[in-house]
Amino acid sequence: MGGTATALADRLADRAQRVLVGGVSRGFNNLPEFGPLYVESAEGAWLRDVDGTRYLDCVMGWGSLLLGHDPAVVRDALRAALDSGFLYQQETQAHVELAELVHRHVPCADRVRFTGSGLEATLFAIRLARAYTGRQKIIKCEGHFHGLHDSGVLSNGATPPGEPMPDGTVVPGVGSAGVLESDATLVVPFNDPDALEKAVRAHGDDVAAVILEPVALNMGCVFPTPGYLESVREITDRAGIVLIFDEVLTGFRVALGGAQERLGVVPDLACFSKAFGCGQPIAALAGRSEVMSLLGPPGVVPMSGTNSARVLSVVGTLAAMRTLAEPGFHPRLAALNDRMVAGFTEVLTDAGVPGHVVGCGGRISVFFGLAEPPRTFRELSRAWNRDYHVKVYRRLMSHERVYGFIPLGLAPDPINLSVAHGDREQEELLDRFASAVRAVPYRDS
């Protein structure tokens, strides 16, 4: 443990090392330089650790907690559900109402099925696309993340950019040991329709799906360039390839109907989690009836799990989704986002620190060292000043008690704000960020 360690946290860390691999129950909890935070309670935008230190939370459950910690609307729904038995693995009225809500608001969602995590949703989407097309390969974009399954983990932002190849693809970065060796996952640069066109020309008859994050929120925050998603839609349509939008991060955050609503391009399948649920362990796969009908039962691709769509998760998610669907919710979130993007930009300008700030739906990326927004993972990883980012992160954690700006891979992890980040939290965050940036002299790395 580093600068945040105190007595009880130290003792817990010692005990954890003896029973938990790497001292954590979940890999990403092992924060670079600081190890795990041992949290005692959380409320709104604040975390309190076991030694009484308060942190302004800008991770917010890795983007899940769009309503903040412990929102009353979700807590009350969960309490009520506890009184009627919370673990019968059956359908309820809440399941139907939640599916209706997704169907009503998400453009591609003719049909919906629930599962437990983003990883599962993208895994089933890919398998479903293979079953539907009778083809084996998939194409993903460099720097995009779809969960830690064999194809999701490749070139996910933790591996350096791959060398471009003549067929439009890049050499895949292997994001984990133990991944099945296979050429079934092809990787192309994001925002490069020509590369995709080439790859489809070379491999199209074997390609079941193109999967991408419609706004790339795992490599900072990178918007699709004008016309890019339209080209992807046109190329996949022409080649009979299933287009999957991984909306695990964009879903219900950038708009109620996800990036597909906001950007006006409708995929065949889409995956949701994180803000869908606002903290519940739930995900959804949604899409066109013709494709979705292959899910079993009645179709040939079984999709179920002991803990899928637990009633408690569904009831909590329904309460959260009804709040997100209230008129004015997303405009309010967009205003918060824009205010904070402008605020961070001003801090950088005042401090004379080169950088670019981009955000959507409160997921905001500060790209130190970049003069303009990046379009591809290669562009970003060339220009991003990771050393400076790490120093600011260290200062924010240890001196300013801001939990966020975590340097996870080879792209900056954006912060996640929520509607619980009110005026006071927004001001505090900008003040604390400004102090950290002022305290760390900028150097080109």
Q: Which residues bind ligand PLP (CB under 6 A)?
A: 62, 117-119, 122, 145-147, 213, 218, 246, 248-249, 273
CA dist., res. 67 & res. 62, Å (int): 13
Question: Who's near 441: CB < 8 A, 6+ residues apart?
Answer: none
Least Cβ distance, residue 10 to ligand PLP (angstroms) = 29
Shortest distance in whole angstroms from residue 117 CB to ligand PLP = 4
Q: How far is CA 36 from CA 9, 10, 278, in A?
A: 9, 10, 22
Torsion of CA 316, 259, 113, 67, to 10 degrees: -10
Q: Is 103 exposed, middle or buried, given 0-12, 13-18 or 19+ CB atoms closer than 10 A?
A: middle
Closer Cβ to ligand PLP, 197 or 246, answer by number: 246
Q: Cβ closer to ligand PLP: 48 or 149?
A: 149
Residue 365 CB, nearest approach to ligand PLP (Å): 13
DSSP one-letter code for 141: E
CB of 436 to ligand PLP, least distance (A): 25
ω before 297 within 30° of 0 (cis)?
yes
Q: Which is nearer to ligand PLP, 207 or 285 (CB)?
A: 285
In this structure, what token pair is assigned to residue 330?
């997303």
Output 4 or 418, the one with its CB closest to ligand PLP: 418
Q: Considering beta carbons, is residue 122 or 236 the nearer one to ligand PLP?
A: 122
Measured CA to CA, the distance from residue 41 to residue 189 in angstroms comes to: 41
Please give the residue whose beta carbon sits closest to ligand PLP in the complex: 118
Nearest distance from residue 371's CB to ligand PLP, in Å? 27
Q: What is the dihedral of CA 324, 317, 263, 103, to 10 degrees?
A: -110
Q: How far is CA 404 from CA 57, 64, 113, in A?
A: 7, 14, 32
Cα distance between residue 368 and residue 160, in whole Å: 18
Residue 250 CB, shortest distance to ligand PLP, in Å, is: 8
Residue whose CB is less far from ligand PLP, 145 or 442: 145
- Looking at residue 23, what DSSP letter applies? G
Any alpha helices (H) in 83-162, and if so which ranges?
Answer: 93-105, 118-133
Mapped onto helix, strand or coil, the DSSP state of residue 283 is: strand
Strand pairing of 301-302 and 295-296? parallel
**Among residues 196 and 248, whose Cβ is nearest to ligand PLP?**
248
Residue number, 147 or 172, with CB nearest to ligand PLP: 147
**Least distance in angstroms from the C-beta of 63 to ligand PLP:** 7
362 contacts 253 by C-beta, under 8 angstroms: yes
Query: Shortest gap between Cβ of 259 and ligand PLP (angstroms)?
Result: 11
DSSP 203-230: HGGGEEEEEE-SSB-SSS-BPPPTTHHH
Between 133 and 273, whose beta carbon lies closer to ligand PLP? 273
Between 140 and 394, name the residue whose CB sits nearer to ligand PLP: 140
Least distance in Å: CB of 145 to ligand PLP? 5
**Least spacing, CB of residue 64 vs ligand PLP, in Å:** 9
